[in-house]
Amino acid sequence: MPEISAKRSREHSTQRSPKDKEKRPARRRLGLAGRVALIALGAAVLVNLVQWIVTPIMLRNTFDQSRRVYASGAAEQLALIVVGPFQYNNPSRVDDLTKGMAKPLPGGEAIIIDTTGAVIGSTAGGKALLGAVDIKFADKPGGAVVQHGDTMIGLQPIIDRKGQRIGTAILAMTPRTLVDFWSGILIYSSLLLVLALAVCAFFLVPLVKRALKPVTDLERGIRKRDAKDKSKLADSSDDRLLKPLLTAIDEVHERSEAAMRRALTMAYTDPVTRLPNRLRFMSKLDGTVAAGQDLFFVICDLDRFRQINVTYGPRAADLALATVAERLRAVASQTQAGAFFLGRIGADQFGIILPVSEQAAVSEFLIAAEKAISETTTLEGQQARITASFGVARAPQDAATGADLMKVAEVALKEAKGQSGARRAFFDKSLIVKAHAKSKLEGELREGLERGEFVAVFQPKVRLETGELVGAEALARWRRPDGAIVSPGVFIPIAEELGLIHVLGKSVMRDACFAAAGWNAKGIVSSIAVNVSPHQFDDPEFINSVYQALDDSGLPPELLELEITESAAVADADRVARIMWPLRNRGVRLAIDDFGTGHSNFAAITRLPFDVFKIDQQFVRALSTDPHAPAIVEMILAMAEALGQETVAEGVETKEQADFLLRRACTIGQGYYYSPPLPADEFDAFVRSYRPRPADRFAA
């Protein structure tokens, strides 16, 4: 039982030891007074150390000279005391005096010799001195001192009462070195210094504490000061010496806080829109999603915003971003979205956190936001219209983290950008499958370009009045290795998105020019039309690539027709004009494609160097079903006639459509009524067998 009790006691003490450690008071640190006293004492020690180091260096020569004088004086004293016994021929007395004089000296040795060199008196090692010195040094007035290592050897002549030299006294000694001598002094000085410091410290610390009491009280007050206390330190003291210092500290503190606020603002705020930047927004999104709160996350991506930057400049683009941010904030605050959070998360992207659980409220917000953003904006004195696409994801249903929610919202955004109507989409798991399929298709498209799977096919263009074949339009087709044909509506947007439309466009341009040059070489004068993607305008080598295709194929420039969509032409008419005029001046013809489908700006169109208006096929196909279609077609034809431009109707599929267009003075027809798009070899056969026929003789 006692063993068990002792064991439990030890276990209890072991378990309690961490708490005991926590309760132990922190080691006390020196206060301000203690530190000042310590500095003073340290200064005193430092002064003494410097003195101890410098003094030997400064006294080195003096010390050596003192050793020489001491050795010379000892030898002179020996010569004086032995002169009597030496003169009265008392060798034993001389020997005793010699030994007695050398014995007290450190390392003392001595010898007395007469003028013949005979030894009269000597210590045990005295005779060795004769080999260490030259006796002639003793002839100098006052004798001489010779240093042999650390040994000082004094030589003095022995002079009798008549002033005659009767012998020489040689005395050697090894006095203490400067280091040995100073070490002894240093030990005693150190002991005295320690004693003095101990006594001084006893009186110095209380004096320093009393002198620094206002400062220490202030220090203690500052340490206990609440972090939320914004009062000034200068108001806490009336000391005339401390008040200027505290005022300066307050000023430095205010400046540092202002700098910190500016740094935080710059680190977490977008400077253009004054919205939270991506770093702060993602932190908010991660925290909100981690808390398990129901929310919708919306990505707002501005459509073709780079075009605004190129057209109006960076300053206007920044103004447009700030305007969009303000409109999004206004819409979000007016909807039933609760405490929304808005931030800029990309160059032309905004993120919105809507803490709601009903999708209807989000749909309402998206409709209002889309309408607000698309309102006309004035940039650099010009009217501009911005549109946006929206991708939406929901937490926690779609993702459990902020990063994953961002990913699925991006998937929804890509789906929205591919839509022709309202460009907004909510995430659905089926979009993942679709995205993977698109990603696979993107890889296959790259490989197809490398393998040459993209070819040009040609659809004939016929003059309606005479039935004469006047040219063809080159269309890109993707023929897969298995023989399957991929629609241009599928691969053209992907090629534009991947930045591969330049490569594809150049390939189709060269194929078209070489094909048309071949037809003309056979005596069939025929023009060729090639579609130009708006993205090809971004290629600085676009104009040169057209020149190269014409030069390499030998096709006359007036037989090449470049087709540009109405929406691309109107979006940036000045830019299109800058690119197209050099081609127009060389003789290349220009056509505006899909006319009537965009937001027509007739003033802009009339400034562009177009030769041909192409009526979009949706109006031609609707001639028999839409009562407004004939009026629209007639309006386009009347406008083209007023401008003196040629017209081409796309999508002609029936005799009735061809007859209507002919009656309305449309120039050229193109569509399956005449021929579907044909590969180059089949088109060659079509050209060879073709015979001009009037429009009213084509079979239905």
pLDDT range class, residue 384, cuts 50, 70, 90? confident
Amino acid 283: pLDDT:
93
Query: Has residue 288 got a pLDDT over 80?
Result: yes
Beta-sheet pairing, 295-302 with 646-649: unpaired
Amino acid 329: pLDDT:
92
Amino acid 242: pLDDT:
66
Amino acid 596: pLDDT:
62
Between 613 and 196, name the one with better pLDDT. Answer: 613
Beta-sheet pairing, 469-479 with 527-531: parallel
pLDDT range class, residue 119, cuts 50, 70, 90? confident
Query: Has residue 476 got a pLDDT over 80?
Result: yes
- 304's enclosing H/E stretch is none
Amino acid 240: pLDDT:
65
pLDDT range class, residue 698, cuts 50, 70, 90? very low
Beta-sheet pairing, 144-148 with 119-122: unpaired
CA distances from 66 to 63, 71, 102 (A): 5, 9, 18
pLDDT range class, residue 453, cuts 50, 70, 90? confident
Establish how many alpha carbons lie within 13 A of residue 93's alpha carbon, considering only the half-sphere containing its beta carbon.
10
Residue range 70-80: mean pLDDT, rounded: 82
Mean pLDDT lowest among 344-353, 407-416, 500-509, 596-605:
596-605
At 459 the three-state DSSP class reads strand
Amino acid 202: pLDDT:
72
Q: Is the peptide bond before 488 cis (omega within 30 degrees of 0)?
A: no
Most trustworthy range by pLDDT among 92-101, 168-177, 545-554: 545-554
- DSSP E strands: which ranges in 280-381? 295-302, 341-344, 349-354, 377-379
CA 234 to the chain's CA centroid: 41
Amino acid 19: pLDDT:
46
Amino acid 230: pLDDT:
65
Query: Has residue 261 got a pLDDT over 60?
Result: yes
Residue range 180-207: mean pLDDT, rounded: 73
- Give the closest residue to 571 by CA, choosing from 424, 320, 386: 386
Amino acid 59: pLDDT:
62
Query: Has residue 413 got a pLDDT over 90?
Result: yes
Query: Has residue 337 got a pLDDT over 60?
Result: no
Query: Has residue 575 got a pLDDT over 90?
Result: no
Residue range 67-84: mean pLDDT, rounded: 81
Residue range 204-211: mean pLDDT, rounded: 72
Amino acid 13: pLDDT:
45
Amino acid 100: pLDDT:
83
Q: At what angle do helices 213-223 and 32-81 cross, to 10 degrees?
A: 140
Helix, strand, coil percentages (3-state) for the chain, rounded to 5, are: 55, 15, 25
To 5 degrees, how large is the angle CA 417–CA 308–CA 275? 80
pLDDT digits (tens, 9 = 90+) for 4-33: 444 444 444 444 444 444 445 555 555 555
Between 193 and 382, name the one with better pLDDT. Answer: 382
Amino acid 241: pLDDT:
62
Beta-sheet pairing, 454-463 with 377-379: unpaired
Q: Is the peptide bond before 141 cis (omega within 30 degrees of 0)?
A: no
pLDDT digits (tens, 9 = 90+) for 489-535: 888 888 887 778 888 888 899 999 999 998 888 887 689 999 988 88
Sign (positive/negative) of CA torsion 626, 630, 636, 637? positive
Q: What is the mean pLDDT of the chain?
A: 81
The token pair that represents 84 in the structure block = 């009597």
Q: What are residue 157's DSSP bridge partners?
A: 168
pLDDT digits (tens, 9 = 90+) for 531-573: 988 888 778 888 999 999 999 999 999 999 999 887 777 766 7
